[in-house]
């Protein structure tokens, strides 16, 4: 397939903010393309080159992209910089300058989707000495053959700035429209922006979505839908050893409402303040995945050991919360203290002794070759009780009571807070396990005015005794419609000046330094990748920030290593909290 055909769709997607229209364009494309091109195209439409479980990044700096434009167009650096200043976007610069060049030379070569994809993917593997030059070559090679519009999208993809506002929901619906349009009797009126389908629609959407929750890759789901149809999707099972999306919780503010949601009697458990682990056990082979589906098995040897020693099932998948504690004082530590272990590559054995975690198991998804997703929670808990032998400070079943009594529930909640836990979870005893869904099967109940998870998009160098550190951080929420991060404020409190006191300016500077994409005097723009939890006192309307809102007295409470930028608070979350607070 020619890259220019894909670029046409990119342009269509950029030309509209309407979700249905975007879905229509993508569905049309999916219908046409051969199966072998599906993965490449589905990833690129979502602004990436890899499935979401693959954390690799291309690591192309603005400087490298700028240089590639110079090489491909033969224009001097001064000219490229002056266009960049004027247009503010290197993708547009590439488009304009390649256009100028074409008028001069007429040389052209046809680029295929595969060629573009392959060259850009190679960028990931290039590291070490001479890597900048080799990266440059790969990008410049593409630009030399590119037409102006193609050049724009090549640069945007290389810089990982390709965003069409195509969220997971759009891809899911497009797969249904593309491969099941007959079954759902789809009619789409582009002019009226109107769509109709029959009563089968929900069934197909659910099949595609549930398959995604098990496979975590829309490229694989699309292939299955195309080749195996509805039955094939519905037959997708759990594959032991593969990451699965965790089921998420809703929230209520009173005990009464919690019971209303999950029914009575309900199971109530402590809500532990650690981080989520989904653990696969297949004989002696143990794999630990985080909520972001990262494999962190190597980082937590004590968990592997505990599972081997205290879980009697040969095969199972467990859902649990790992909580750090001080081995000397036996006090639980807040999440931020153990978060450093998630990405750690060295000193692992030492850290597992210094900052060990205790595992609190609260669910089971697979046992002895049997998929338990549809089994009622009560039965799943019974299995857990049979196979887990608890050992304090190593592995435990989540503390649980089953009651329909509001007073008992409130007492259990007070006890949870007293012991330093975050609150409690109410669970429906008859509910299935729905991977990836925030459904009402479990409800969290904890103190109100929650902090927000926001992304750092820029930072500023400090002065005086804080010079040499990035000390002020511009925070943003996500607008899922446009895929853009919109600023909501600036935080400079919460971090420590001394490393031994907790998350420090120095540590944050180290993290952000590798993400810098542009510098303006004392300010730097960074790739939006780091999610931090922000406590604050109030949200106000504000013209200063792009979201239209500003946080009052924002304080950084922790880094959310377990969250990706697309999982941060949305503009709608900020708005909802603003409205709530007005009430």
Catalytically annotated residues? 271
| DSSP letter string, 180-240 | STTTTT-EEETTTTEEE--TTHHHHHHHHHHHHHHH--HHHHHHHHHHHHHHHHHT----T
From the list 321, 478, 524, 570, which residue makes contact with ligand ATP (rule: CB under 6 A)?
321
206 part of the interface to ligand ATP, by CB under 6 A: no
String of contacts with ligand ATP for each residue 349-388, x by CB under 6 A: -------------x--------------------------
String of contacts with ligand ATP for each residue 384-423, x by CB under 6 A: --------------x-------------------------
Cα three-residue angle 217-335-363, rounded to 5 degrees = 55
From the list 20, 230, 248, 401, which residue makes contact with ligand ATP (rule: CB under 6 A)?
248
d(CA 519, CA 542): 25
Q: Give the list of residues 6+ apart from residue 329 with CB closer than 8 angstroms, or none.
A: none
From the list 425, 452, 454, 512, which residue makes contact with ligand ATP (rule: CB under 6 A)?
425
Which span (110-118, 129-137, 243-251, 388-396) binds ligand ATP, by CB under 6 A? 243-251
d(CA 289, CA 306): 16
276 part of the interface to ligand ATP, by CB under 6 A: yes
249 part of the interface to ligand ATP, by CB under 6 A: yes
Q: Which is nearer to ligand ATP, 142 or 443 (CB)?
A: 443
CB of 260 to ligand ATP, least distance (A): 18
213 part of the interface to ligand ATP, by CB under 6 A: no
The answer to whether 317 touches 279, Cβ cutoff 8 Å, is yes
CB of 262 to ligand ATP, least distance (A): 12
Q: Which is nearer to ligand ATP, 290 or 472 (CB)?
A: 290
CA 75 to chain centre: 39
CB of 277 to ligand ATP, least distance (A): 9
Q: Give the list of residues 6+ apart from residue 225 with CB closer than 8 angstroms, or none.
A: 175, 176, 178, 179, 180, 208, 211, 232, 233
CB of 527 to ligand ATP, least distance (A): 23
CA 144 to chain centre: 34
Which span (53-61, 130-138, 263-271, 495-503) binds ligand ATP, by CB under 6 A? 263-271
Element (H, E) at 507: helix 505-513
Burial profile 254-272: b = 16 or more Cβ within 10 angstroms, e = fewer = ebeebbebbeeebbbbbbb
271 part of the interface to ligand ATP, by CB under 6 A: yes
Q: What share of the chain is helix, strand, coil (3-state, %, to 5)?
A: 45, 25, 35
The closest alpha carbon to 208, from 170, 175, 243, belongs to 175
426 part of the interface to ligand ATP, by CB under 6 A: no
Q: Total residues contacting ligand ATP (rule CB under 6 A)? A: 14
Residues that bind ligand ATP (CB under 6 A): 246, 248-249, 269-272, 276, 321, 362, 398, 425, 442, 444
């Amino acid at each position: 397939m020619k890259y220019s055909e894909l670029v046409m769709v990119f342009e269509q997607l950029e030309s509209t903010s309407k979700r249905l229209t975007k879905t229509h364009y993508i569905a049309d494309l999916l219908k046409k393309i051969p199966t072998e091109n599906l993965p490449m195209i589905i990833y690129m439409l979502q602004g990436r080159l890899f499935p979401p479980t693959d954390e690799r990044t291309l690591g192309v700096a603005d400087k490298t992209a700028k240089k590639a434009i110079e090489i491909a167009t033969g224009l001097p650096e001064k000219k490229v910089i002056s266009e960049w200043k004027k247009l503010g976007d290197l993708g547009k610069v590439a488009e304009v300058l390649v256009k100028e060049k074409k008028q001069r030379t007429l040389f052209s070569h046809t680029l295929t989707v595969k060629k573009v994809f392959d060259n850009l993917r190679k960028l990931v593997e290039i590291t070490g000495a001479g890597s900048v030059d080799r990266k440059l070559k790969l990008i410049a090679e593409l630009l030399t053959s590119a037409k102006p519009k193609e050049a724009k999208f090549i640069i945007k993809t290389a810089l990982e700035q390709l965003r069409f506002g195509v969220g997971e929901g759009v891809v899911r619906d497009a797969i249904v429209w593309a491969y099941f349009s007959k079954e759902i009797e789809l009619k789409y009126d582009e002019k009226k922006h109107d769509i109709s389908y029959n009563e089968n629609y929900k069934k197909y959407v659910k099949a595609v979505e549930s398959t995604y929750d098990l496979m975590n890759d829309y490229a694989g789901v699309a292939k299955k839908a195309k080749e195996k149809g509805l039955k094939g999707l519905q037959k997708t099972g759990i594959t032991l050893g593969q990451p699965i999306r965790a089921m998420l919780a809703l929230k209520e503010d009173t005990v009464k409402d919690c019971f209303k949601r999950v029914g009575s009697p309900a199971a109530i458990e402590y809500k532990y303040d650690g981080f989520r682990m989904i653990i696969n056990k297949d004989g002696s082979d143990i794999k630990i995945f985080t909520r972001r589906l990262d494999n962190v098995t190597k980082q937590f040897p004590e968990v592997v050991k505990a599972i081997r020693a205290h879980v009697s099932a040969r095969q199972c998948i467990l859902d649990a919360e790992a909580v750090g504690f001080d081995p000397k004082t036996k006090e639980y530590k807040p999440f931020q203290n153990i978060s450093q272990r998630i990405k750690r590559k060295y000193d692992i054995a030492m850290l597992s002794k210094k900052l060990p975690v205790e595992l609190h198991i609260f669910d089971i998804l697979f046992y002895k070759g049997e998929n338990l997703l549809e089994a009622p929670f009560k039965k799943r808990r019974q299995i857990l009780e049979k196979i887990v032998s608890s050992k304090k400070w190593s592995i435990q079943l989540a503390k649980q009571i089953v009651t329909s009594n509001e007073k008992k529930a409130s007492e259990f909640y007070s006890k949870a807070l007293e012991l330093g836990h975050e609150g409690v979870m109410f669970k429906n005893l008859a509910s299935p396990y729905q991977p990836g869904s925030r459904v009402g099967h479990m409800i969290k109940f904890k103190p109100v005015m929650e902090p927000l998870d926001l992304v750092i998009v820029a930072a500023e160098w400090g002065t005086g005794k804080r010079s040499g550190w990035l000390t002020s951080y511009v925070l943003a929420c996500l607008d899922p419609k446009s895929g853009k991060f919109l600023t909501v404020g600036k935080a400079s409190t919460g971090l420590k000046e001394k490393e031994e006191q907790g998350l420090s300016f120095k540590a944050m500077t180290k993290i952000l330094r590798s993400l810098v994409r542009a510098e303006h005097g004392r300010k730097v723009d960074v790739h939006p990748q780091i999610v931090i939890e922000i406590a604050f006192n109030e949200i106000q309307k504000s013209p200063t920030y792009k979201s239209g809102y500003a946080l009052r007295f924002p304080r950084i409470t922790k880094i959310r290593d377990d969250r990706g930028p697309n999982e941060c608070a949305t503009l709608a979350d900020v708005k909802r909290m603003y409205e709530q607070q007005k009430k």
